[in-house]
Amino acid sequence: MSAPRLLDGPSPSMGPERLAAHSRRLGPLPKGGHGLIDLLGHTGLTGRGGAGFPVGLKWKAVAAASRGAAVVIVNGAEGEPHSKKDRHLMTSRPHLILDGAMLAAASVRAKQVVISVGEDHHAALRSMTEAIYERSDHERRLMRIVTAPARYVAGDSSATVHLVDAGIATPTTTPPPPHERGVGGAATLVQNVETLAHVALIARTGTATETVLVTVAGAVRAPGVFEVKLGTPLGDAVQMAGGPSEAARAVMLGGYFGRWVEVADAWSLPIDPHGLRERGLSLGCGVIGILPARQCPVCEVAGIMRYLASESSAQCGPCFFGLRALADACTRIAERGTDPGDLQRLQRWSGEVQGRGACKHPDGAVMFLQSAMKTFGDDFAHHPAHLRRSA
């Protein structure tokens, strides 16, 4: 019998699973602690929010700096435009997430657990709120919910800490990273909701979970969130979404901080953080976006770059002005046709922006653009002048 899955049990379409059903199905919640931290280290679980940081390492660091006053932030901000898997999990399996949060709190000796939910994710907000009221008094006393603004950078760990701390969801300068100095100066564990749900299962079975949540979006017949076994070929996940709704051109893997892959190479890719990293790719936040062949990739990329530029919190000059300049150059190519000067500028500015923000927003945007210019090299080199926009 294979390892349990996050979405086992009643169909997610039936809404949030109540605590009674949840406990009946999975049994009592085991104790957290150093044993669990080591277990997470052995299972090799990595964060599912996008950066893919090893969970065991992060918990160890927070526990070391905790002094019994650490803070656990359950990150359900999900600012990634195409990603739906976090809110899907919050609306269907809230108690799996809260289990993971409590295990984290016990393991890093936290004094409070803050659940950050995107303010637009109304169903998720309701589900998590109701779920908290079903927990024991002791657990309820630890927990509170904050709503995160629907901005791309609001999902950054330092921005989440800043939101909980000061009510302002803008990234702050690191180092020190949140796991050293976070909320109120206390060591803070910022963990994505899916990651914590996996922890809740791993703690019960003692073995690694074998699935990952992905959001299949774009030119597919039935876009949505799917839980796939690690290593599943990307093409199979797309088939779960009803398959391409039309001739596909490329796949955007990992959302707006992810990479582009031509369909020819995409279908066989294994959906597995480690396997993808070996290929210089990343699962990121689990978004699999299908770009239809009829759509111009350059115009698509230009639109996304404009969005990412507009999502800069305007705190760091290189990010704000750099991303804006890159987006403008992309837009010029998209609207007026390729200009060698603009192509050179894109390369030079990419180099100047890379690694020069307080958070990873500029880096993510530049990597995304670089990947696009590599994958769609010919399109960028010979783009005709036309005014079709795709944002």
Partner 1 sequence: MTKKLELVVDRIKCDGRGLCAEILPERIRLDSWGYPIITPGPIPEHLMGLSQRAVDDCPVLAIALRRAEIHRQKGT
Partner 2 sequence: MNNALLWYATRGAGAVSLVLLSAVVVLGILSVLRVQSTGWPRFLTVGLHRNLALMTLVFLALHIITAVVDPFTHLGWLAAVVPFSSHYRTFWLGLGTIAFELLLAVVLTSLVRGLIGQSAWRLVHWLTYACWPIAVLHGVGTGTDAWSAWLFTLQAICVVAVLAAIAYRLMAGSRDPLARERSSFLAAVDRREER
* Least distance in angstroms from the C-beta of 346 to partner 1: 12
Q: Does 169 bind partner 2 (CB under 8 A)?
A: yes
Least gap, CB of 21 to partner 1 (angstroms)? 29
Structural element, H or E, at residue 200: helix 193-205
- Cβ of residue 279: shortest distance to partner 2, in angstroms? 36
Specify whether the CB–CB gap between 291 and 297 falls below 8 A. yes
Q: In angstroms, rounded to a whole number, what is the distance separating the alpha carbons of residues 293 and 307?
A: 22
Terminal CA-CA length for the chain: 45
Using the rule CB under 8 A, which residue among 53, 267, 307, 321 binds partner 2?
321
- Dig out the tokens for 255 from the structure: 């959302």
Q: Could you say which of partner 1, partner 2, none residue 352 binds, taking C-beta under 5 to 8 angstroms by partner kind?
A: partner 1
Q: Taking the complex as a whole, how short is the minimal distance between the CB of residue 171 and partner 1, in angstroms?
A: 8
CA separation, residue 77 to residues 122, 124, 195, 370 (Å) = 12, 10, 14, 27
Q: Which does 322 bind (CB under 5 to 8 A by kind): partner 1, partner 2, none?
A: partner 1
Determine the residue type at 215: T
Three-state secondary structure call for residue 70: strand
Residues near 336 by beta carbon (within 8 Å), at least 6 away in sequence: 385
Do strands 232-233 and 224-229 pair parallel, antiparallel, or not at all (unpaired)? unpaired
Q: Which is nearer to partner 2, 183 or 266 (CB)?
A: 183
Residue 255: CB atoms within 10 A of its CB come to 27
Q: How far is the CB of 113 from partner 2 (least distance, A)?
A: 17
Per-residue binding letters, 121-150, with partner 2 (x by CB under 8 A): -------------------------xx-x-
Nearest CB to partner 2, comparing residues 169 and 369: 169
**Does the bond joining 81 to the residue before it have cis omega, within 30 degrees of 0?**
no
Answer yes or no whether residue 170 interacts with partner 2 by CB under 8 A.
yes
When the beta carbons of 141 and 348 are compared against partner 1, the nearer one is 348
Question: Considering CB distances under 5 to 8 angstroms, the limit depending on partner class, which of partner 1, partner 2, none binds residue 167?
Answer: partner 2
Residues 66-105 that bind partner 1 (CB under 8 A): 75
- Minimum CB separation from partner 2 for residue 98, in Å? 22
Q: Count residues contacting partner 1 (CB under 8 A)?
A: 40
Residue 214 CB, shortest distance to partner 2, in Å, is 28
What are the beta bridge partners of residue 370?
none
Distance CA 202, CA 64 (A): 22
Which positions from 297 through 316 interact with partner 2, judged by CB under 8 A?
312-315
Q: Are 61 and 179 in contact (CB under 8 A)?
A: yes
The piece of 128-136, 184-192, 247-255, 375-383 that touches partner 1 (CB under 8 A) is: 184-192
Q: Closer CB to partner 1, residue 267 or residue 321?
A: 321
Separation of alpha carbons 282 and 259, rounded Å? 7
Minimum gap (Å) between residue 360 Cβ and partner 1: 6
Q: Which is nearer to partner 2, 317 or 351 (CB)?
A: 317
The length of the chain, given as a count of residues: 391
Stretch binding partner 1 (CB under 8 A), from 28-36, 132-140, 143-151, 344-352: 344-352
* Contacts for 14 with CB less than 8 Å, ≥ 6 apart: none
Contacts of 178 (CB under 8 A, 6+ apart): 73, 157, 158, 160, 161, 188, 189, 190
Decide: is 352 part of the binding site for partner 1 (CB under 8 A): yes
Tokens 């039935």 belong to: 222
For 319, other C-beta atoms within 10 Å of its C-beta total 28
Give residues in contact with partner 2 (CB under 8 A): 146-147, 149, 151, 154, 163, 166-170, 312-315, 317, 320-321
Give residues in contact with partner 1 (CB under 8 A): 47-53, 58, 75, 156-158, 172-175, 177-179, 189-192, 195, 315-319, 321-322, 325, 348-349, 352, 356-360
